[in-house]
Structure 1
Amino acid sequence: MTRRLCSLPRQPAPSFGPGLTAERLGALLAGRRMWVNGTVLHYCFLDADSDASVIPVPGTGELRRVPWAGGKEQRDVVRECFAQWEALGVGIVFTEVGDRGEAELRIGFQAGGGSWSAVGREALAVGRAERTMNLGWDVTAQGERGTVLHEIGHALGLVHEHQNPSAGLHWDDEAVYAELAGPPNHWSRETTDTNVLRALDAGESRGAVWDPCSVMALPFGPGLVLEPERYRGGLRPAGTPSDLDREFVLRWYPPAGGCGPKPLVPFRSAPLALGPGEQADFRVEPPETRDYTVGTFGDADTVLVVFEEREGEPRFLAGHDDGGTPDNAAVRVRLVRGRRYVVRVRLYSTWGSGQTAVMCW
């Protein structure tokens, strides 16, 4: 029996400037979807009367309206799955909110719309009235909890593990097309290419070791994989985060240290002694209310994000990713005296002298 599978929409290939070294390009590919550590990801469920898709009724020429709302049991499974990821000890916090304007992750349950999610920071490019995740079948059914865990993995920035080039999977392409063109998936060849047959760039995947037990690997029945021989009988991941999944997410999102962010005093630069993928956090307590520039210096690709603390929780204020460009990450923001702000800088890679710094002025 063929299971329903995650159907990520196809995204345009990333565009970087010419002349990048392989090391720099690999670092950009690896980190471009990942959140800065310490981010609070707010999620909401789209259940207003206006939240719906209008789709054609096959063979009739008519249209029907399919709502995005899910029942309490469906929403409870999603809440439990967010908690399961957070319980791994990651430095990302998931918080449910009722206002979609405050939510980076917006979840719908359109029946027949497939299950998919924006991958990591791709969610920020999705319109506030649109979903960043859809769960298109009953996730309360036996064995379907893994679907929710898988889609939340995408929301954290993880990609399909069966597409890891280190897996060395040799598919029977036509058998895969035929299998997934039928029920219950009804995929086009393009969707099958995007989600199964296309091997990811080495920089996009988690590295030289692939994990067939990963929650990010999809299940497949026999007869679809030709080589390696041990997978001819199919791929059957457990449907829950594996040990290597936990190791990977903790590398990107380690738990917060005890010292907290360092002070960043206006007009004083703070050196960044970071390696690829590492992050530095700073706190800013502005001496006066005005517009400030917060930016990095040096030959480096970085992501810089400014958060404002509201009731003890960091809320996104502004951010800039200078990855692959000759510019440095910088934002212009209004900071208010008496409030506290957190600046987080994650490094992709350096070149030239490798000396980097951050300043608020």
Structure 2
Amino acid sequence: MASNKTSSNQTPPQAGAQPLCAVKEMPNRPLDTHVNEHRAGLIRVTEKKWVNGTVIRYCFLDQPATWQGADGQKEAVRAAFAQWKGLGIGLEFREVNEPREAMLRIGFEGGAGSWSYVGRDNVDYATDPRERTMNFGWDLTTPYGRDTALHEIGHALGFSHEHQNPNAGIVWDEQAVLDYFAGAPNFWNAEKTRHNILRKLKPWETDGSEWDRDSIMHYQFPQGLILQPSQYRSQPLLPANGFSARDIAEALRFYPPLQPTLPELRPWESQRIQIGSGEQIDFMITPDVSRQYTVQTFGNMDTVMVLFEQMDGEDIFYAGDDDSGTDFNARIQVRLFRGRRYLLRIRLYYAQQSGEGAMMMW
């Protein structure tokens, strides 16, 4: 769901009058022309998700002054991160003060709407440390505002709008939708409304899931905008507050709890990759010799491979490669140091045959 406000001391609008979150429209990463629809679908449903185990650093921007948030608004965002972590997911969230260290950079500009980049778009496209990757444009201390914070963080974790699920069966009164969102409090043009409301996601963007009308990623809608299901012609569609059961299941599917111990990857030992699409396999690396190493996958599969160094109890990004949608294999060439510990995390998008992939370090 999205959210409501212009200043923190205003009374929240009644249901159906809320301003809503607007996702930034980004280009699809190009895939090789010979990639078939099934393979492309498996890539698209996962490509914006983070590698599980990532420490996502966020900061609050204080410049310009219009982006500054009051302490209560910041606390609401911190609480929302804690709620996502409280689901038991394998991601970590850490607040930092330096924008150059942050993957998520948060502003609180009233009147600018609430929005976020989606998943890895935060680091792939929003590369200027002075640039916001998320904004909150209304009070986050109301029930609707608290759901706003959860919703925008959901986008930052790679989850899309649920009301655009192609399996929802929603039939819109398109002109009524365009007219409604052109007015207060959203003032959206037709292009923005089509992108955020009327556009149906591709089936693979929701992984074929059924419609979840109580998802935290679902908007509220007043009566009269939806023709089917017919009950919403005469009543508003109001998702329940907080996470739905399916929200929790999907979060844990992509970001399950981390394993307490990991297998070790040693030079010249081949490791078979036997995981399903969207799943992940992790290895520990503790080099005996400081030198240049190569880590590479083998086989007809699409993966993202990320190497972290463990420093002071924290996993720091060291190197990575994403070979999805190409004829190449993921490959990292990097100098590793004796006495240090590294984590290698590999998420599979697609494999031509089950269990066909392998990886090796040398």
Using structure 1 for the length normalisation, give the TM-score: 0.92
Hey, what's the Cα distance between the residues in 2 that align with 1:333 and 1:136? Answer: 42
**Offset, 1:289:** 2.2
Aligned length: 344
Hey, what's the Cα distance between the residues in 1 that align with 2:29 and 2:212? Answer: 25
Match in the other structure for 2:180: 179
Match in the other structure for 1:7: 22
Q: Contact 1:9/1:191 (CA < 8 Å) preserved in 2?
A: no
Hey, what's the Cα distance between the residues in 1 that align with 2:86 and 2:110? Answer: 29
Answering whether residue 241 of structure 2 is matched by residue 239 of structure 1, we say yes
Hey, what's the Cα distance between the residues in 1 that align with 2:332 and 2:113? Answer: 37
- Match for 2:311: what amino acid? R
C-alpha change, 1:206 and 1:217, in structure 2 (3 Å) is farther
Q: Contact 1:172/1:225 (CA < 8 Å) preserved in 2?
A: yes
* TM-superposition CA deviations, 1:130-159 (whole Å, max 9, x none): 111111122124521111010011111100
- Within 5 Å, which residues of 2 pair with 1:315-354? 315-351=316-352
Match in the other structure for 2:6: none
Question: Partner of 1:203: helix, strand, or coil?
Answer: helix
Stretch deviating more after TM superposition (157-166 or 86-95): 86-95
Match in the other structure for 1:74: 73
Hey, what's the Cα distance between the residues in 1 that align with 2:137 and 2:78? Answer: 17
* TM-superposition CA deviations, 1:159-204 (whole Å, max 9, x none): 0000000001110111111111111111111111111100000001
* TM-superposition CA deviations, 1:291-327 (whole Å, max 9, x none): 3222211110001000010111111111111111000
Question: Partner of 1:78: helix, strand, or coil?
Answer: helix
Q: Contact 1:147/1:239 (CA < 8 Å) preserved in 2?
A: no
* TM-superposition CA deviations, 1:246-296 (whole Å, max 9, x none): 0111111111123x2210012322111111111110011112223322221
**Offset, 1:352:** 5.6
- Match for 1:85: what amino acid? W
Match in the other structure for 2:47: 32
**Offset, 1:355:** 1.6
Stretch deviating more after TM superposition (213-222 or 308-317): 308-317
Q: Contact 2:118/2:159 (CA < 8 Å) preserved in 1?
A: yes
- Match for 2:289: what amino acid? E
- Match for 1:239: what amino acid? N
- Within 5 Å, which residues of 2 pair with 1:108-123? 108-123=107-122
Q: Contact 2:274/2:355 (CA < 8 Å) preserved in 1?
A: no
- Within 5 Å, which residues of 2 pair with 1:283-298? 283-298=284-299
2:32 to 2, 7, 17: 17
Hey, what's the Cα distance between the residues in 2 that align with 1:15 and 1:228? Answer: 36
* TM-superposition CA deviations, 1:48-82 (whole Å, max 9, x none): xxx23xxxxxxxxxxxxx62111111100000010
Match in the other structure for 1:152: 153
Match in the other structure for 2:100: 101
**Offset, 1:23:** 2.3
**Offset, 1:353:** 7.8
Identical columns (%): 47
Hey, what's the Cα distance between the residues in 1 that align with 2:179 and 2:200? Answer: 19
Hey, what's the Cα distance between the residues in 1 that align with 2:244 and 2:207? Answer: 14
Q: Contact 1:164/1:206 (CA < 8 Å) preserved in 2?
A: no
- Match for 1:241: what amino acid? F
Q: Contact 1:117/1:133 (CA < 8 Å) preserved in 2?
A: yes
2:250 to 248, 251, 259: 248
* TM-superposition CA deviations, 1:70-113 (whole Å, max 9, x none): 11111000000100111111111111111222211111111221
Match in the other structure for 2:314: 313
- Name stretches of at least 5 consecutive residues in structure 2 with no aligned partner: 1-15
Match in the other structure for 1:63: none
* TM-superposition CA deviations, 1:206-236 (whole Å, max 9, x none): 4231100000000010000001112322221
- Name stretches of at least 5 consecutive residues in structure 1 with no aligned partner: 53-65
Q: Contact 1:296/1:356 (CA < 8 Å) preserved in 2?
A: yes
Root-mean-square deviation (CA, aligned residues, Å) is: 1.5
Match in the other structure for 1:280: 281
**Offset, 1:354:** 5.1
Match in the other structure for 1:60: none
Question: Partner of 2:56: helix, strand, or coil?
Answer: strand
Hey, what's the Cα distance between the residues in 1 that align with 2:217 and 2:304? Answer: 25
Q: Contact 2:43/2:325 (CA < 8 Å) preserved in 1?
A: yes
Question: Partner of 1:167: helix, strand, or coil?
Answer: coil
